[in-house]
Copies of this chain bind each other. A is one copy, B any other.
Amino acid sequence: MQWTGDATTSKAVTERGFSLGHAGRSVPGIVWTPEDGQAPTPVVLIGHGGGGHKREPHILALARRLVRHHGIAAAAIDGPLHGDRAPADGQPTLEERRAAYRESNVVDEMIADWKATLDALQKLPELGVGKAGYWGLSMGTMFGLPFVAAEPRIAVATLGLMGTGEFGGGRLERDAAEVTCPVLFLQQWDDELIPRENAATLFGAIASTDKRLHAHPGAHAAVPPEEFAFTEAFLAEHVR
């Protein structure tokens, strides 16, 4: 793992970009830590949604809140063909990304990217070896739920805006049966991308006994601030 650029600190949160060389790929990421971090702290990994990137506003806000309010580190990486992993000639369209994903082992590659990222982060002296958390909605669940299922260090997860069916295929439902950590699952009642029944089926398939579904009216992208406040406390409570 190599740092890219200088660390910056704003309001007690230090932000550092990194690039992780791994499996012939270069994975760009960011880690946020407390400026005055003393003891090693757990980290929450944040997966962005389709069309987003590792530093879009709601990810930056969640990461900074975890650091400032709870003294927990946060990290995000770009998904395949997103952010700094997009081709040099510009961001692909949604359709172009989907087509590329269909012809690759994108989920398994993303699991490997997250595992390598967590391995590298936990070698930093200011981050603890041990439990970690995961937060990711929509594409962040499409890639993240299989990662949570496969990674025993993940002790808590916020997932959602996803269901069985078109996007997840059969894999999500199968992998959900391997997820056993505490889970917050978010659903948008009027989601134009994810049928209500498919979201319910995926929530039902998660093996965790400690899980809760929170549903709100509105479209796919309209998750209300109340759930960002809830997830912050939820992740902090379970990641320690």
Contacts and interface: CB of A to CB of B under 8 A. Distances in A.
A112 interface: no
A174 interface: no
Contact of A214 (B189, B213, B217): B213
Interface string A160-190: 0000000000000000000000000000010
Contact of A213 (B209, B211, B213): B213
A213 B217 CA distance: 9
B226 A212 contact: yes
Interface in A189-210: 189, 196, 200, 203-204, 209
Interface of A: 189, 196, 200, 203-204, 209, 211-217, 226
A237 B76 CA distance: 33
Given A189-B203, A189-B204, A213-B215, 6 more contacts: A189-B213, A196-B200, A212-B214, A212-B215, A213-B213, A215-B215
A236 to B, nearest CB: 14
A212 B204 CA distance: 18
Contacts of A226: 212
